[in-house]
Amino acid sequence: MGGARVTPLFEVRGLHLSLPNLNEKPLFGPAPRVHILRGLDLDLPEGQVTGIVGESGSGKSTLGRCLIRLLEPTGGSVTFAGTDITHLGPQALRPFRRDLQMIFQDPMSSLNPRHRIRDIIAGPLRVNGVENADARALDALDRVQLGRRFADRYPHQLSGGQRQRVGIARGIALGPRFILADEIVSGLDVSTQAQIIALLEELVADMNLTMAFISHDLSVIRRLCQRVIVMKAGEIVEAGETAQVFAAPQHPYTAELKSAIPLPEIDDSWLHDRPREAGDVQ
Ligand SMILES: Nc1ncnc2c1ncn2[C@@H]1O[C@H](COP(=O)(O)OP(=O)(O)OP(=O)(O)O)[C@@H](O)[C@H]1O
């Protein structure tokens, strides 16, 4: 596309992650290590959504967790907004926690069933010492187009799409700069998926969010992500602008991936149909 270069929010160089392989513990000596990420280089441009695709077990979630430092890399570096966060301990990471948020795949298991929606969203705000946590939780409910009348409900009283909106509200309430979204629309029906994707697009634009969006669904990736990286066996086999990568895949694996999942070629206007009334939200 050309134009001005977008500053990367994340710069990842030679990222490596290995863990002891507990399935192959020898009688003597240390367990052999399993290499999950094998030297990744990538930039995540600020204000853009980068899709991460690849077969099951290729390391997508592990990469995401290294970015937000839920995992500590065993090699290479992760630089966030100019600071090397690769090996920061819990104390040094504290100032970054607000900026690095995650939305989980299954909101039912990640939302405490005994807590009201207002407390689920306000919880992380209180932990981070944010003033007016309750008011900000209600604002977040508005931003995800659920509305305040959901504040006193419990997760089981909501539909799958509504619960995912609560997950998103919790993710954005702290005003993060980066969100990791790991398979967050996989469990939803197609029309609810489309509404959630439209909401994410709006939030990314309004809040200048940078997002890494892990998904198996290439049509969702094509809709939402300006850039995409393709992983295989702990390595990045292809990266670039989404339209280019899928139009002219350079790596046989990308072509394989593309041919494995049919992409809808026609009329995606339904993706733009968004509810205008909070009561319509699914
Ligand atoms: N704590 C761990 N100990 C040992 N192996 C692990 C651990 N976490 C992940 N792995 C292995 O690392 C590989 C990458 O896992 P990861 O969850 O990152 O893949 P993924 O691409 O996100 O897969 P999926 O699409 O199935 O979620 C897998 O083979 C997994 O079994």
> Model confidence over 188-211: pLDDT tens digits?
999 999 999 999 999 999 999 999
Kindly report whether the global pTM for this prediction surpasses the value 0.90.
no
Cα 200 to ligand 1 centroid, rounded to whole Å: 26
- CA proximity to 199, closest of 254, 281, 121, 102: 281
Q: What is the pLDDT of residue 152?
A: 96
- Whether 185 maps to a domain, the answer reads no
- Taking every pair of Cα atoms in the chain, the longest distance, rounded to a whole number of angstroms, is 65
- Whether the per-residue pLDDT at 263 is higher than 70: the answer is no
Residue 103 and residue 163 in contact, taking contact as beta carbons nearer than 8 Å: no
- Whether 251 maps to a domain, the answer reads no
Q: Which atom of ligand 1 is nearest to the CA of 59?
A: 18
> Per-residue confidence at 226, pLDDT binned at 50, 70, 90?
very high
Residue having the nearest C-alpha atom to atom 2 of ligand 1 = 19
- Whether 44 maps to a domain, the answer reads no
Q: What percent of the chain has pLDDT over 90?
A: 70
Q: Which atom of ligand 1 is nearest to the CA of 62?
A: 18
- Whether the per-residue pLDDT at 266 is higher than 60: the answer is no
Residue 63 and residue 52 in contact, taking contact as beta carbons nearer than 8 Å: yes
- Whether the per-residue pLDDT at 155 is higher than 80: the answer is yes
- CA proximity to 67, closest of 107, 102, 92: 102
Q: What is the pLDDT of residue 67?
A: 98
Residue having the nearest C-alpha atom to atom 30 of ligand 1 = 57
Residue having the nearest C-alpha atom to atom 8 of ligand 1 = 62
- Whether 150 maps to a domain, the answer reads yes
- Whether 193 maps to a domain, the answer reads no
Pocket of ligand 1 (CB under 6 A): 19, 34, 36, 54, 56-62
Q: What is the pLDDT of residue 118?
A: 95
Handedness of CA 32, 85, 129, 138 (dihedral sign): negative
- Whether the per-residue pLDDT at 183 is higher than 90: the answer is yes
Cα 21 to ligand 1 centroid, rounded to whole Å: 12
**How many domains is the chain partitioned into structurally?**
1
Least confident of 67-71, 102-106, 145-149, 210-214: 102-106
What's the domain range around 116?
107-167
Mean pLDDT of 86-91: 96
Q: What is the pLDDT of residue 107?
A: 67
- Whether 83 maps to a domain, the answer reads no
